[in-house]
Structure 1
Amino acid sequence: MSDAPASPPPMRGNLTEGPVLRTLLMFSVPTLLANILQSASGTINSIWVGRLIGEDALAATANANIVMFLISSAAFGFGMAGTVLIGQRFGARDIDGARRVFGTAIGFCFLLALIIAVVGYFVSPPLLKALGTPGDAYGLAVTYLRIIFLSMPFLMVSIVLTMGLRGAGDARTPLIFMIVTVVIDTIFNPLLIRGFGPVPPLGIAGSALSTMAASFISFLGMLAFTYAKDLPLRLRGPEVRYLIPAREELRFIITKGLPMGAQMLVMSASGVIMVSLVNQEGLVVTAAYAAAMQLFTYIQMPAMAIGGAVSAMASQFIGAKKWHELDGVTRAGIMINFVMTGVLTLLLLLLDRQALGLFLGSGSDAVPVGEHIQLVASWNFVLFGVTMVYSATMRAGGAVIIPLIIITIALYPVRLGFYYLTYHQLGADAIWYGFPVSAVASLVLGWWFYRYSNWRKHPRPESAEEAAEQAQADADPAGRMIPDL
């Protein structure tokens, strides 16, 4: 009889088992589909608002959404930090530790969202004035934003729940309930805007209430599903106390989450600057750029989805102390990105006139300008995706400042510097060529930091079980329950 220790039993959601490429691909696809559905839902809602209420209402939602993006960036950062730590604990087979992280993230974000909801409701008018919201849209924007603020508690908790499930290797459940959200919101939006049966027409408030109701119903459904299927992160009995934030887990979520959220803000601010530069080129160029950006939103989705999947998968490998496998995860992510983003970019270039015509009309003077923008700038998202993979792996190891440095350098000194240095020679092309130039810079920086920096040495906080184990091992090295791998 062999004296070798028995292999641990398979664990649901374990991303460290099986072929890396296939596992990562199967995990990325549901995340990508969920992202596409979320963007499509926003587009459909904008169509309902614009068609059923008018341009002033559409402008109102656009202004309110700027404020909500700033807040959701924080939720994304904290949720991503929770995903990393949950993945590390899950990979270490420390399910109780993963639940403790999950409870801390949910409890902290819920309390934070309550404060934001109350404060946001009262400061909505001055916030919108500070944004320079047009007078015709101002009243509508206040109504819309206040309702969205009131929905913040379960919106933020839903984001954390979704990202926590992905950290535990489950991308299917969030996809199911994203479908539920989109279906409900798409149906409720026109009904509440125009009224039906005993429900009076609610106008823009109806659109906001539709989004609120869809998110709330989906959140309750996802929560019920988590318990009904006994998913690993559900909290039962004494585990409910994990909703009271634990100090070490909370410190990790805040210190790692803030830089991740800041990265979203850096990208958003860069986008605002780019729009201001494009606006100087006239109405036709601005319209072409607006249409191109609508298409770019979908091109970059594979990179975003793959980055999130790589981060969750790498976190589990780190938790399992399989650091030597991380390069394989990174290579697999790069390969999938090249195929997905590359094929999508090629399709867009082949069908660019038809795609741009959906937004501009086939006879618009802006279509040829949009085609030129696509030809010059669209392929940069393939390189951007590679940088996302490098950054995702480093984030899984706890290195969150490095990705922030990379994106900041690429978007500001490089992209804006290229624009100001070459504008007199290239004109508006200085804007479009800035995209691939900054993408190359971010790729080089990402590769260099991944290859040569000390990101693999970033420690992760120990769970209570691991701390007790370590104390026992220090006293009696032969007494360690789980050997280092």
Structure 2
Amino acid sequence: MSTSMTKGNPLKLMLQFAFPLLIGNLLQQTYNIIDAAIVGQILGAKALASVGASSSIQFLVLGFCMGSCTGFGVPIAKYFGAGKLDQMRNYVFNGALLTAGIAVILTALCSVFCPQILHMLSVPEDIYDNAYAYLLIIFLGMPFTLLYNYLSSILRSVGDSRTPFMFLALSAILNIFLDLFCIVVLKWGCAGAAIATITAQAISGILCLVFIAKKMNLLWLSKAHRAANKDAVSELLMMGIPTGLQFSITAIGSMVMQSANNGLGSVYVSGFTAGMKIKQFTMCPFDAIGTAVSVFCSQNLGAKQPDRIRKGLKQGMAVAVGYGLLAGLVLIFAGRPLSMIFVSKSSADVLDASAKYLRCMGYFYWSLGILNITRMVTQGLGYSTRAVFSGVTEMLARTIVSLGFVGTFGFTAICYADQTAWITACLYIAPTCVFCIKKATKSIMAGAYE
């Protein structure tokens, strides 16, 4: 069911939109956690390190896929808000063409160069074989990842965040049973965890496709809409590629950081992996409210309502920063107990590393609220290229800390790399977002969005 955000209480609309998205994100992270928990508890700490040793490259490649799909949804939301449904449907078709092209190119390249990627990440020899098997399967499943992310993006663009959540919830439950079946019964090891994850993602994507075909008349594409359009492709690429690159550029810094951490040995790889899983879980509310604010601003840009855009930014920011403060306290005081989801009590050194990573991060978690909201609003207003530079600043900050300080301060430097990146990016994107809102307001007043 589509929902317009151009009328009504902004905060209520955004929270209603964000809630199913949040639950969906939490479920997605839950089955990622279950993957890691089953691997760590059943197969051991080294197997957990194998699964986590390539997390940064997964973030780079899959982040580009998800970012591109999110960017493709911005013009769709804008034309939906403006009531230009024929133009919106043509953009849906052209976005699908671009998504299919990305799937073919990235799957082929990443699968072929998988060994070189792992060597670049300095993956230790004692976990290399399992790390390779896991990463290769994840790469081969990228078309399914793109299928779900594109279809869920266009559903959210027209105000439906509930349907993607329902299908993701179903696939998350299925993934639990597939994990146990592939790892415990079939004894496929780390490869089994990857197969379970990809299968679950495939099912959620296929269900989204069936739902759109059967139930969403708004997104039904007639023959007139199913035509390649140069202008549509150009606008979609101008939004999607920079948004995808923003995720990827951020991930480059994470790759450098992970490579530096991998060089510290398997204990710190396992501790970092456990901490990362908890971090990714607690970041879900930031992603949900950020997406809600972005869609809200996109629709109201199309409806030419700058006052609502400003209200959306302020109210979304208040929610995100408030959550960041609470989540930071949890990470500071409960990091070690939470890490025991993945690692047994006997691996005290791994638990110590994970707890330290989470504790240091918790002090600055509030800054993610500022970063995510201002970046997503900037994207939602169509200034995706400007938003890319926030990713560039994150990359540079993580790279400087990883290359310049890990050699001297060891794992302690790793523990402060993320925070340095977040604060640095905030210093750029927050004033940029304010500037973009002013610029969009002037364009609306001048009739640029007729």
Q: Could you tell me which of 26, 35, 44 is aligned with 2:25?
A: 35
1:35 to partner: Cα distance = 1.5
Q: Are 1:171 and 2:154 an aligned pair?
A: no
Tell me which residue corresponds to 1:101.
Answer: 91
Q: Are 1:324 and 2:307 an aligned pair?
A: yes
CA contact 1:415–1:435 (8 Å) conserved in 2: no
CA contact 1:89–1:97 (8 Å) conserved in 2: yes
Distance 2:232 2:354 in 1: 47
CA contact 1:64–1:144 (8 Å) conserved in 2: no
Q: Are 1:224 and 2:210 an aligned pair?
A: yes
Distance 1:272 1:315 in 2: 32
**Matched ranges for 1:7-406 at <5 A:** 12-50=2-40, 58=48, 61-62=51-52, 67-118=57-108, 120-125=110-115, 127-128=117-118, 131=121, 140=130, 143-193=133-183, 195=185, 205-230=191-216, 232-235=218-221, 237-238=222-223, 242=226, 244-275=227-258, 290-359=273-342, 364=348, 373-406=357-390
1:67 to partner: Cα distance = 4.8
Distance 1:49 1:127 in 2: 22
Q: 1:193 to 1:331 in 2, by over 3 A?
A: same
Deviations 1:344-363 (A, max 9, x none): 22333343443345455568
Distance 2:116 2:89 in 1: 40
CA contact 2:397–2:417 (8 Å) conserved in 1: no
CA contact 2:330–2:362 (8 Å) conserved in 1: no
Q: Return 26-35 or 264-273, whichever deviates more.
A: 264-273
Distance 2:204 2:120 in 1: 33
Q: 1:212 to 1:428 in 2, by over 3 A?
A: closer
Query: Matched residues, percent identical?
Result: 23
Q: Which has the larger radius of gyration?
A: 1
Paired letter, 1:274: M
Counterpart of 1:270 in 2: which secondary structure?
A: helix
Paired letter, 1:403: A
Q: 1:446 to 1:45 in 2, by over 3 A?
A: same
Distance 1:338 1:378 in 2: 13
CA contact 1:74–1:257 (8 Å) conserved in 2: no
Paired letter, 2:38: W
Distance 2:323 2:349 in 1: 31
1:79 to partner: Cα distance = 0.6
CA contact 2:37–2:341 (8 Å) conserved in 1: no
CA contact 1:380–1:435 (8 Å) conserved in 2: no
CA contact 1:299–1:345 (8 Å) conserved in 2: no
Aligned length in residues = 446
Counterpart of 1:170 in 2: which secondary structure?
A: coil
Deviations 1:254-285 (A, max 9, x none): 23222222222232222233345557878877
Distance 2:343 2:386 in 1: 39
Which gives a bigger RCO, structure 1 or 2 (Cα 8 Å, sep 6+)? Answer: 2
Distance 2:193 2:344 in 1: 27
Deviations 1:29-80 (A, max 9, x none): 2222211211221221233345556667655544566554433222123211
CA contact 1:354–1:362 (8 Å) conserved in 2: no
CA contact 1:259–1:404 (8 Å) conserved in 2: yes
Counterpart of 1:191 in 2: which secondary structure?
A: helix
Q: Return 323-332 or 138-147, whichever deviates more.
A: 138-147
Q: Normalised by the size of structure 1, how large is the TM-score?
A: 0.78
1:14 to partner: Cα distance = 0.5
The root-mean-square deviation of aligned C-alpha atoms, in Å, is 3.9
Distance 2:352 2:419 in 1: 20
Distance 1:183 1:291 in 2: 21
Paired letter, 1:14: S
Paired letter, 1:238: K
Counterpart of 1:15 in 2: which secondary structure?
A: coil
1:165 to partner: Cα distance = 0.9
Q: Normalised by the size of structure 2, how large is the TM-score?
A: 0.83
Distance 2:113 2:228 in 1: 28
CA contact 1:76–1:159 (8 Å) conserved in 2: yes
Q: 1:339 to 1:405 in 2, by over 3 A?
A: same
Q: 1:459 to 1:146 in 2, by over 3 A?
A: farther
Distance 2:432 2:65 in 1: 26
Unaligned runs of 5+ in 2: none
